[in-house]
């Protein structure tokens, strides 16, 4: 397919196959949005940064500062302290080296996808997110998991269950509790659910499962 066909495929499926590579660009907002019935993902809130124009490689290198002699010395010291990898680390390193050419090829193909790069800024333009709560009030699950109270924390799973086929749009809200840490939390209902913990709500896609380890 040519670039215009791939853009239409991206709009329809959220997938853009990169020319000259076995890789593809995936729009997670569109793909995840198919898992929700009562909620909508906001692209500007999902993506941590906007898609700006890319710089040329020469410009990026010209702007970079040359490493100081002291930094070179520290780098040489770190290199001399390299230890021998264990069996698991050697397997991981071999896997990384095997994947490296594919990742480099995919990255270069993405940089060459002119029409895709021009299209990306429009995905979040004009779609601003206005959070109701400050991000600083988010639950810190890392700290909570390290607390002695971790085994006692529970998340309340709220989901809507239709009352009957003859009562379209009428649902019964049901709740069940599940340990938050060291237990698999599953959403086995047909629709997405809401997880309530310490006054905050978290959207749980249908058919999803996760485990938070303390």
Q: What is the pLDDT of residues 32-76, one digit of tens each?
A: 887 788 888 888 777 765 555 555 444 444 445 556 666 666 666
The answer on 119 and 140 residing in a single domain is no
Give the pLDDT mean for 173-198. 87
The answer on 47 and 15 residing in a single domain is yes
The answer on 42 and 12 residing in a single domain is yes
The answer on 207 and 115 residing in a single domain is no
The answer on 199 and 116 residing in a single domain is no
Q: What is the pLDDT of residues 98-139, one digit of tens each?
A: 999 999 999 999 999 999 999 888 877 655 555 554 555 788
CA distances (Å), origin 27, targets 53, 73, 114, 195: 18, 43, 17, 25
For 18-67, list the strands marked E by DSSP: 24-26
| Residue 191 or 48, more confident | 191
Element (H, E) at 15: strand 15-17
pLDDT for 133 equals 46
Find the domain containing 166 and state its range.
Answer: 136-211
- Locate 9 and state its tokens: 């495929």
Q: Round to whole Å and give the CA distance between 162 and 164.
A: 6
Establish if 10 belongs to a structural domain. yes
The answer on 102 and 47 residing in a single domain is yes
Rg, C-alpha atoms of the chain: 24
Q: What is the pLDDT of residues 132-184, one digit of tens each?
A: 545 557 889 889 999 999 999 999 998 877 666 544 556 677 888 989 999 89
The answer on 92 and 22 residing in a single domain is yes
Q: What are phi and psi of 78, to 5 degrees?
A: -65, -35
Domain boundary (71, 101, 123) is at: 123
The answer on 8 and 111 residing in a single domain is yes
pLDDT for 210 equals 87
The answer on 160 and 110 residing in a single domain is no
pTM (two decimals): 0.54
Q: What angle do CA 55, 63, 104 make, to 5 degrees?
A: 50
The answer on 168 and 94 residing in a single domain is no
The answer on 149 and 117 residing in a single domain is no
Lowest-confidence region among 13-17, 89-93, 136-140, 156-160: 136-140
The answer on 10 and 100 residing in a single domain is yes
Domains identified in the chain, total number? 2
């Amino acid at each position: 397919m040519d670039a215009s066909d791939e853009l239409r495929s991206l709009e329809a499926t959220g997938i853009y196959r990169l020319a000259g590579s076995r890789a593809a660009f995936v729009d997670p907002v569109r793909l995840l949005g198919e898992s929700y019935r009562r909620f909508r993902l906001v692209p500007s809130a999902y993506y941590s940064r906007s898609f700006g124009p890319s710089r040329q490689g020469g410009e990026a290198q010209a702007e970079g500062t040359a490493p100081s002699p002291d930094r070179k010395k520290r780098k040489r010291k770190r290199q001399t302290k390299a230890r021998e990898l264990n069996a698991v680390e050697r397997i991981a390193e071999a896997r990384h080296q095997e994947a490296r050419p594919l990742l480099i090829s995919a990255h270069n193909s993405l940089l060459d996808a002119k029409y895709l790069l021009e299209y990306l800024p429009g995905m979040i333009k004009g779609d601003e997110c206005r959070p109701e709560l400050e991000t600083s009030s988010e639950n810190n699950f890392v700290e909570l998991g390290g607390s002695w109270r971790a085994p006692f924390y529970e998340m309340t799973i709220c989901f809507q269950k239709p009352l009957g086929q003859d009562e379209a749009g009428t649902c019964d809200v049901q709740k069940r509790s599940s340990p938050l840490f060291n237990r698999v939390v599953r959403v086995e209902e047909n629709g997405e659910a809401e997880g309530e913990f310490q006054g905050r709500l978290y959207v749980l896609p249908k058919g999803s499962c996760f485990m938070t380890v303390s």
